[in-house]
Structure 1
Amino acid sequence: MKIVIVTGASSGLGREFVRQIESLYKELDEIWIIARREDRLLEVESRMMTKVRIFAADLRHRSAFDKIAAALQEFNPDVRMLVNAAGFGKVGEVEEISSTDQADMVRLNCEGLTYMTCIVLPYMSTGSRIVNVASAAAFCPQPKFSVYAATKAYVKSFSDALGEEVKKRGIFVTAVCSGPVRTEFFEVARTEEDGQNAKDNFMKEPEVVVRQALLDAARGKKLSVCGISMKSARIATKVLPQKVVLGVMQHFWK
């Protein structure tokens, strides 16, 4: 049985991955979709032609993986692609954001992604892909977005190293480092008081980001960066002094 697994599938980039994967991969038997909100997952399922298996699970908690691991063991599928799209961020200085939210960002963005990857890897084979949704925030520290940016730096670093480890099995890992995307993400990340900021000028539509990510994954690229502005930003973070970069990042949230 050939399947694709997508976390964070109820909204945003995760939901868009599900939609585009179905149109690109006609040989799939099932798509397994994972997110907290079962009603949203049922809505996604209603729009699909491919058979969908729903896992309503909060990946901030280790127990959420038990049902997924049991299903993998039961069906022993050939996982052609794993998309780790579950994640969230909060804007604000460290002292302004609750300790629960700070820790939850680490649990979901880092621990959840890592645990999911580890339980799925044994079921992948030559030609399989892992797509990890990181962020352009992975390229440098970001004041007022410090924990989120740090978690995405972890995702990129983990993806780079994992890709080297699994290439001997013919498995490819791609880190998606997009800039701001027009999804529900910023509704969660920002408060009403935050309003708009410079990052809104660089917003991309999810369809565009996912299309580029899937194309880059198909080509076996380690990194998927969508758009000239984010590619330029990546170069800038490499050549400019960190003090300058930090000042620019501080400005973006004003």
Structure 2
Amino acid sequence: MKIAVITGASSGLGREFAKQINQHFVTLDEVWLIARREERLNELKESLHGVHVRTIPIDLCDRDAVGTYEEMLQKFHPQIRVLVNAAGYGKMGYVEQISEEDLAGEIRLNCESLTRMTKISLPYMAKRSNIINIASSAAFMPQPNFAVYAASKSYVLSFSRALHQELKKHGIVVTAVCPGPVNTEFFDIAESYTKTKGYKVILRANAGKVVTLAIKDAMKGKTVSTYGVVMKAFRVVTKIIPHGLIVPFIH
């Protein structure tokens, strides 16, 4: 049985991956959707056609709950054709403003849970399988007023690149998706402490287009997928100009 596993599937880019995944990975027998909100997962399941959908309503920050996913893998022993690690969140604001719980939560979900899901899934992946990790253009450089989120996404980008090299011998491709601001529910949570800067509102990309490119890039074997001319230029600039000069300007 070939499956796709998508975390963070109840909203945002995860939800969009769920809508598009079987259009590109045509040999799938099932799609496993993972998120905390069971009601949202069930609504999404009802809207999807052409492939059998299995919902797994768990909190990825709960180590015991993640064990449920591991037990399902052991029970069904599927081949994971593609794993999409899309669960994550960020909080805008200065570190001194944001609660310790929120800061630690970003690291647990964006970094620890993503790593654990990948580790658990790897034994069930074979040649020509894909891992798609949602990072961010924030991964390209430190970002004051978004410090922990940017740092957590830098981890995702670095981890993805290193893992891709490790898994080459197995024929498994790892792609880090690094979009700029995307028009999703992400900012409803991110703006708990402060409002989004104007340029980030203007630059918000369409979620469907970001996901379409991400899947195509993953299938081409690319290690990084960056949507849009502006974000691609931003990526180049952060490679050329020292971060010590750019960070004060961004701030």
TM-score by length of 2: 0.97
Distance in 1 of aligned mates of 2:134 and 2:196: 25
What per-residue deviation string (whole Å, max 9, x for no partner) do you get for residues 205-239 of structure 1? 10010001000000000000001100100111111
In the alignment, the residues of structure 2 paired with residue 221 and residue 25 of structure 1 have an alpha-carbon distance, to the nearest angstrom, of 16
In the alignment, the residues of structure 1 paired with residue 226 and residue 64 of structure 2 have an alpha-carbon distance, to the nearest angstrom, of 33
The 5-angstrom pairing of residues 52-131 of structure 1 reads 52-131=53-132
Tell me, which stretches of 5 or more residues in structure 2 are unaligned? none
Q: Once the 2 structures are TM-superposed, how far is the Cα of residue 26 of structure 1 from its aligned partner?
A: 2.6
Q: Which residue of 2 aligns with 1:209?
A: 210
Partner of 2:201: 200
1:115 and 1:214 map into 2 onto residues whose CA distance is 22
Deviation at 1:242, TM superposition (A): 1.6
Per-residue deviation at 1:195?
A: 5.4
Separation (CA, whole Å) in 2 of partners of 1:217 and 1:131: 7
Secondary structure in 1 matching 2:151: helix
Question: 1:162-205 deviations in whole A, cap 9, x for unaligned?
Answer: 00000100000000000000000011001385255211121101
Would you say the 8 A contact 2:93–2:193 is kept in 1?
Answer: no
Q: In 2, distance between residues paired with 1:215 and 1:99? A: 38
One-letter code aligned to 2:135: A
1:98 and 1:87 map into 2 onto residues whose CA distance is 17
Structure-to-structure mapping, 1:1-254, within 5 angstroms: 1-49=1-49, 50-191=51-192, 194=195, 196-250=197-251
Counterpart CA distance in 1 for 2:171 and 2:56 is: 28
Q: Tell me which amino acid in the other structure corresponds to 1:24.
A: H
Identity %: 50
SS state at 1:181 partner:
coil
What amino acid is aligned across from residue 57 of structure 1 in structure 2? I
* CA drift at 1:243: 2.5
Higher mean alpha-carbon deviation, 211-220 vs 238-247, is at 238-247
Instruction: Output the CA distance in 2 between the equivalents of 1:98 and 1:157.
Output: 26
Give the SS at the match of 1:94.
Answer: coil
Aligned length: 250
Say if 2:92 and 2:194, in contact at 8 Å, map to a contact too.
no
Structure-2 separation of matches of 1:195 and 1:168: 43
Q: Which runs of no fewer than 5 residues in structure 1 stay unpaired?
A: none
Looking at structure 2, the residues matched to 150 and 63 of structure 1 have their Cα atoms a distance apart, in angstroms, of 26
| CA distance in structure 1 between the aligned counterparts of 2:194 and 2:161, rounded to whole angstroms | 37
Distance (Å, rounded) in 2 between the aligned partners of 1:34 and 1:181 = 21
Aligned partners of 2:192, 2:103: CA distance in 1, in Å?
15
Q: State the secondary structure of the residue aligned to 2:184.
A: coil
Residues of 1 paired with 2:172 and 2:68: CA distance? Answer: 25
Task: Identify the range of structure 1 (101-110 vs 183-192) with the bigger mean alpha-carbon deviation.
Answer: 183-192
Query: Structure 1 CA distance, aligned partners of 2:79 and 2:183?
Result: 33
How far the C-alpha of 1:157 sits from its partner, in A, is 0.3
Report if aligned partners of 2:31, 2:53 keep a CA contact under 8 Å in 1: yes
1:38-77 CA distance string (max 9 Å, x none): 0000011001121111111111121121110000001110
